[in-house]
């Protein structure tokens, strides 16, 4: 694999001296927000940024769910010729030389893709140009351009001060694909992916506005809101304020919710409070949940919306399978293909996430599948034990393929072994072949 490799690597220089944000452990790149990239207002009147969007529970849950599900699937390196597992230190959770654990690395990268539409990873190399560490870069720090001379992508990374703030006056640092791995999300136009939060700011802004409206409504805590009518003329505004203050003292606030109001003969109360059902708070919340879950491609029941779900049992199970097949795989496929190209770099080798545990059925279903597969023959009994995290048995017979019922011994390809006659009955030698001699 050939990458556009710079002749020299730029060094970030700040007022305090030479400084590289990739090497500063006190300033995690994930701490920088996406406000500059995503901040915008829609018809809801709410400014939608990553930080404000994450205050909506459904948005938070969707991004967290996608990130943790992908991070929970181990990525491994294989040799294509025989699908043999290859030990790669970069994919070893116990590798202490890496800044992030495997879970943290892929969780953060997936969160970047799900929120900003792009994921960027800095590939730290040693003196022999071998990759020794992978560090996610916050997407808001990166601008992507095409180098006019080479035609390859270049990445302009904003410089950071030692306190972690962006140095707006400094010239961005330039990297190429030799140093930065770019994993674009959906809608990739050759430079950047589409940010779900930026493109759906209207829906998210409406959810934020509804939350604020509900908070303001309930903050008053008054279940008797309305108009107090006094039949006798009031002499002054102070007298009206006094009546209002006494009413609020006795009836307003959470502590007085549900109290009984006692009025004299000269006073009347007219309720003007619109009940929450009429304000459609609950209906708007359900609509927000459904829309945001649809935006991220997540079944509503996975974000807690089970009210309209009548497909329990097999239906829910199939929705989970669909979530893995159509949503999770869209993230794992794009990541593993980019990792194969830019991190593995060995011809004939590839990286792949293991999604098996996401598709595992119940214990009974798995055991029935193992029984049918172990006599398939396409899986040995020791291979079945490994799948259940059990130690393989030392008896060599458990590493051999078993023939299907009625078939003699088989070779490694599952075909009848040479020199071994099949035990299947030949119709031509059957005692009852239709002749009546």
- Same domain? For 173 and 314 the reply is yes
Has residue 142 got a pLDDT over 70? yes
Q: Dihedral sign, CA of 312, 316, 317, 318? A: positive
What per-residue confidence (pLDDT) applies to 37? 43
**173 closest CA partner among 51, 35, 9, 416:** 9
Which of the four pLDDT bands, split at 50, 70 and 90, describes residue 34? Answer: very low
Has residue 214 got a pLDDT over 90? no
Which of the four pLDDT bands, split at 50, 70 and 90, describes residue 197? Answer: very high
- Same domain? For 411 and 317 the reply is no
- Same domain? For 97 and 197 the reply is yes
Domain boundary among 308, 333, 359: 359
Please list the residues that pair with 41 across neighbouring strands. Answer: 47
What per-residue confidence (pLDDT) applies to 207? 86
- Same domain? For 177 and 44 the reply is yes
How many of the other CB atoms lie within 10 Å of CB of 35? Answer: 13
**35 closest CA partner among 19, 22, 51:** 51
For the CA atoms of the chain, what is the radius of gyration?
32
**Domain-embedded: residue 121:** yes
- Same domain? For 249 and 394 the reply is no
Give the mean pLDDT of the chain. 77
| Maximum average pLDDT range among 42-51, 113-122, 302-311 | 113-122
Q: Which whole number is the average pLDDT over 264-279?
A: 61
Has residue 168 got a pLDDT over 60? yes
pTM over 0.85: no
- Same domain? For 196 and 215 the reply is yes
Ranges assigned E (strand) in 189-337: 226-230, 267-271
Has residue 93 got a pLDDT over 70? yes
**What does the pLDDT look like over 54-87, one tens digit per residue?**
989 999 999 999 999 999 999 999 998 887 889 9
The C-alpha angle 205, 211, 214, rounded to 5 degrees, equals 140
25, two tokens = 């452990």
| Maximum average pLDDT range among 34-38, 254-258, 401-405 | 401-405
| CB-CB contact of 63 with 111 (8 Å) | yes
What per-residue confidence (pLDDT) applies to 38? 46
When comparing pLDDT for 265 and 183, which is higher? 183
| CB-CB contact of 55 with 208 (8 Å) | yes
Q: Which whole number is the average pLDDT over 202-210?
A: 85
| Maximum average pLDDT range among 28-32, 178-182, 317-321, 387-391 | 178-182
- Same domain? For 234 and 323 the reply is no
When comparing pLDDT for 372 and 118, which is higher? 118
When comparing pLDDT for 390 and 257, which is higher? 390
Phi, psi of 133 (to 5 degrees): -160, 150
Has residue 160 got a pLDDT over 50? yes
- Same domain? For 265 and 298 the reply is no
Has residue 267 got a pLDDT over 50? yes
Give the ranges where 280-437 is alpha helix by DSSP (H): 281-296, 314-322, 329-339, 363-374, 381-387
- Same domain? For 21 and 76 the reply is yes
The C-alpha angle 186, 188, 192, rounded to 5 degrees, equals 110
Which of the four pLDDT bands, split at 50, 70 and 90, describes residue 161? Answer: confident
How far is the C-alpha of 368 from the C-alpha of 384, rounded, in Å?
Answer: 12
**Domain-embedded: residue 239:** yes
What per-residue confidence (pLDDT) applies to 36? 41
**What does the pLDDT look like over 228-253, one tens digit per residue?**
677 777 778 887 787 778 777 776 66
175, two tokens = 């990297």
**Domain-embedded: residue 15:** yes
- Same domain? For 235 and 343 the reply is no
Q: Which residues contact 339 (CB under 8 A, 6 or more apart)?
A: 75, 181, 351
Number of domains in the chain: 3
Domain boundary among 342, 359, 376: 359
What per-residue confidence (pLDDT) applies to 221? 57
Domain carrying residue 109: 1-219+274-359
- Same domain? For 88 and 165 the reply is yes
**What does the pLDDT look like over 108-134, one tens digit per residue?**
999 999 999 999 999 999 999 999 999
- Same domain? For 215 and 227 the reply is no
Cis peptide before 377 (omega within 30 of 0): yes
Which of the four pLDDT bands, split at 50, 70 and 90, describes residue 88? Answer: very high
When comparing pLDDT for 239 and 157, which is higher? 157
When comparing pLDDT for 314 and 27, which is higher? 314
Which of the four pLDDT bands, split at 50, 70 and 90, describes residue 30? Answer: very low
The C-alpha angle 314, 315, 317, rounded to 5 degrees, equals 60
> Three-state SS for 120?
strand
**Domain-embedded: residue 435:** no
What per-residue confidence (pLDDT) applies to 392? 84
When comparing pLDDT for 352 and 284, which is higher? 352
Has residue 19 got a pLDDT over 80? no
């Amino acid at each position: 694999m050939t990458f556009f490799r710079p002749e020299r690597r730029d060094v970030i220089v700040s007022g305090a001296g030479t400084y590289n944000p990739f090497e500063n452990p006190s300033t995690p790149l994930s701490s920088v927000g996406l406000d500059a990239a995503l901040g915008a207002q829609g018809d809801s009147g709410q400014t939608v940024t990553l930080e404000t969007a994450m205050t909506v529970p459904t948005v938070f849950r969707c991004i967290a769910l996608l990130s943790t599900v992908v991070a929970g699937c181990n990525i491994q390196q294989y040799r294509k010729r025989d699908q043999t597992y290859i030990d790669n230190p970069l994919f070893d959770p116990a590798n202490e030389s890496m800044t992030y654990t495997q879970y943290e690395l892929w969780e953060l990268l997936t969160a970047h893709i799900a929120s900003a539409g792009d994921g960027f990873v800095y590939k730290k190399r040693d003196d022999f140009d071998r990759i020794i560490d992978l560090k996610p870069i916050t997407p808001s720090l990166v601008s992507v351009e095409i180098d006019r001379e080479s035609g390859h992508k270049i990445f302009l990374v904003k410089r950071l001060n030692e306190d972690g703030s962006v140095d707006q006056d400094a010239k961005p640092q330039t990297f190429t694909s030799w140093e930065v791995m770019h994993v674009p999300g959906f809608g990739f136009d050759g430079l950047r992916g589409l940010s779900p939060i930026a493109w759906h700011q209207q829906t998210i802004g409406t959810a934020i506005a509804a939350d604020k409206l509900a908070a303001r409504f309930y903050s008053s805590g008054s279940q008797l809101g309305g108009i107090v009518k006094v039949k006798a003329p009031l002499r002054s505004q102070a007298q009206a304020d006094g009546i209002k203050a006494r009413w609020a003292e006795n009836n307003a606030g959470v502590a007085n919710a549900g109290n009984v109001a006692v009025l004299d003969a000269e006073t009347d109360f007219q309720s003007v409070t619109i009940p929450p059902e009429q304000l459609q708070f609950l209906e708007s919340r359900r609509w927000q949940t459904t829309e945001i879950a649809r935006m991220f491609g997540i079944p509503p029941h996975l974000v807690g919306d089970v009210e309209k779900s009548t497909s329990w049992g097999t239906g829910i199970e199939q929705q989970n399978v669909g979530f893995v097949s159509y949503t999770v795989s869209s993230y794992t496929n794009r990541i593993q293909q980019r990792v194969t190209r830019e991190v593995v770099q060995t011809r004939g080798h590839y990286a792949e996430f293991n999604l098996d545990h996401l598709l595992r059925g119940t214990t009974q279903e798995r055991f029935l599948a193992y029984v049918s597969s172990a006599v398939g023959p396409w899986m040995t009994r020791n291979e079945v034990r490994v799948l259940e995290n059990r130690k393989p048995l030392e008896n060599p017979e458990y590493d051999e393929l078993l023939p299907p019922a009625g078939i003699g011994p088989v070779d490694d390809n599952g075909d009848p072994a040479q020199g071994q006659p099949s035990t299947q009955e030949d119709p031509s030698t059957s005692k009852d072949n239709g002749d009546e001699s």
